[in-house]
Amino acid sequence: MLGPKNIFRLQWPKLPYNLRLIETYVRMMEWRKAAGSVLLPLFLLLLPLLNGCATIPYDYPRTLSTALYLPEATSMGKKIQAQVKENHGASGFYLLSSGEDAFFARVRLINRAEKTLDLQYYLFSADITGKFMLDRIIAAAERGVRVRLLLDDWDETAEMDRWLTLMEICPSIEVRIFNPFGGLRSNRLTRSFGAIFGANRLKGRMHSKAFIVDNSVAIVGGRNIADAYFGASSGPNFSDMDIMAEGPIVRQVSAAFDDYWNCVLSIPLKALVSHRLTGEDVQKARHDLAAESESLKKSSYAEKVRESDLYLLKHQVEPGMISFVWAQGDVLFDDPLKVIHSADRERTDKMRRELRAFLQEAQSELLMVSPYLVPGKAGMQWFQKMRDRGVTMKIITNSLASTDSSVAQFGYMRYRTDFLRMGVELYELRPTPRPRGEGEHFRIGGSSRGSLHAKTIVLDGRAVFVGSFNLDLRSARSDTQNGIVIHSPELAAQAADIFNKDASPTRTYRVSLVGDDRLVWVDEEKGREVHYYREPLAGFWLRFSGRFFYLLIPESML
């Protein structure tokens, strides 16, 4: 067992940002057990000093605000309203399966905003695509657009705080932080003690994602704002999925956003950041943003964006210019207080119940994409019941070599053999997937390595779910989630086509059983089947480190 002295000598491996919560949780639990005798007295000694900056300013003044009341008063809203009437009150939907399309759609919509921009994200990085959007958002605010930016507090960096503080100088922009760690984001000591002694409050995070323009067009799905989600990273990029929606359903997305924005857990940034920019700071920051934006416009990534489907459609992302599918849809979302009321099953189970009710409608086939697949015992019982009803189930998830969370992967590996025995078809993403087809690029930045991040479900070829919900226990019990269910055979056919391309040997390994329990990964090279009898392309350290962390972390946190 680790003693108080030895635990501080551990060299924790550098993990991707969406593993930091797990890493911190491990530290919280282990430090509580092994070093509690040291940390608690120290904490009590420092309590008077820390109290002022550690207290969460829930009573900080804030103004109640809501989405744009009359979206049809904007140019975009008028055009959409006309199309809604032509389609008998339905909403329009467009799948954003490529990173270039997803990036261009957001930038174009920011530039076309007239009244409001509402953005809700778990992660907003100050990298090349993030800074480009920040530049466009500030420009929109300067022409009078009201901007509300809601971010989870997990991604705390001094670099990002610099840009968020710059945004708040503009009176049209307000930034709020969801479920903050402590009183000041810049106080590392406070955040560390908050993580250790406030584990129950902090373990649940805001994983919901929404991008809403003039309450007329919304983008919901798996992507955060960072280079890796738009194919612009020089390292591994994510294969992901968003749904762009317009029409009546956007008001549902906005209503959910308003619930989060006006929640007591959403604290104004001004209450959490003590540093204030001088006039010189502002001038330098604006100059840096402009330089970054110009750099992106001249980059090889910009060339890829100019080859994207949406860009080629006369540079337009607006009604009548792209092929929206018109159908009925429903927005699913968690109660924002889920993160601090984990024992209240009525509240924590809201989205899980809604999503399960949707899945229960399946009669013949479920195509499911989830980067993390940790169903738990109750989930496995549900899968078995669906199989007993004769429902064909196919799942695409990450391989050990492609995942950005080897810990969650080991959680999935516990159930993999049982999945196969019950007849579920499993496909695991290759770490270097080949493009889906002509015009569909995976390698956009400097790296061809990829990791799966999409969360989609196709039901019976007649309905589709796109959102932030992973098929794991964290999504179900701890973090807030959202998504959209669309009842449309046409859109389901599009999503199924993407699924089938992704399940091909050029992009995934098909996992099978030899005998009762021996796994085999089936690949294809030059038209010939190739079999692997251990995790393909996964080295010893990857296998060891993932299993090490898996043994320390409760399954409910995977």
Q: pLDDT for 115-169, tens place per residue? A: 999 999 999 999 999 999 999 999 999 999 999 999 999 766 657 888 888 998 8
Q: State mean pLDDT over 300-318.
A: 80
Residue 317's nearest CA partner among 90, 85, 92, 131 is 92
* pLDDT value at 36 more than 60: no
Q: How confident is the model at residue 439 (pLDDT cuts 50, 70, 90)?
A: very low
Judge if 91-312 and 330-557 fold alike in CATH terms: yes
Paired tokens of 181? 């760690």
Catalytic residue list: 207, 209, 214, 453, 455, 460
The predicted structure's pLDDT at residue 527: 81
> CB of 366 within 8 A of CB of 359?
yes
* pLDDT value at 343 more than 90: no
The predicted structure's pLDDT at residue 192: 63
Instruction: Work out whether strand 482-487 and strand 463-467 pair parallel, antiparallel, or are unpaired.
Output: antiparallel
Dist. CA 119–CA 163, nearest whole Å? 15
* pLDDT value at 454 more than 80: yes
First to last CA, the chain: 23
Dist. CA 402–CA 542, nearest whole Å? 11
In the chain, where are the structural domains located?
6-54, 91-312, 330-557
Regarding the domain with residue range 330-557, which homologous superfamily does it belong to in the CATH classification? Answer: Endonuclease Chain A (3.30.870.10)
Dist. CA 399–CA 409, nearest whole Å? 8
Q: How many CB atoms neighbour CB 389 within 10 A?
A: 11
Dist. CA 128–CA 100, nearest whole Å? 14
Ramachandran angles phi, psi of 465, nearest 5°: -115, 130
Mean pLDDT for all residues in the chain: 84
Dist. CA 97–CA 221, nearest whole Å? 10
3-state helix, strand, coil in the chain (%, to 5): 45, 20, 35
CA distance to 82, 326, 352, 401, 475, per residue, from 355 (Å): 31, 22, 5, 29, 12
Rounded CA Rg of the chain = 23
* Percentage with pLDDT > 90 across the chain: 60
The predicted structure's pLDDT at residue 406: 83
User: What CATH number belongs to 91-312?
Assistant: 3.30.870.10
- Cross-strand bridge partners of residue 92: 246, 326
Dist. CA 429–CA 414, nearest whole Å? 18
Report the predicted TM-score, pTM, of the whole model to 2 decimal places: 0.87
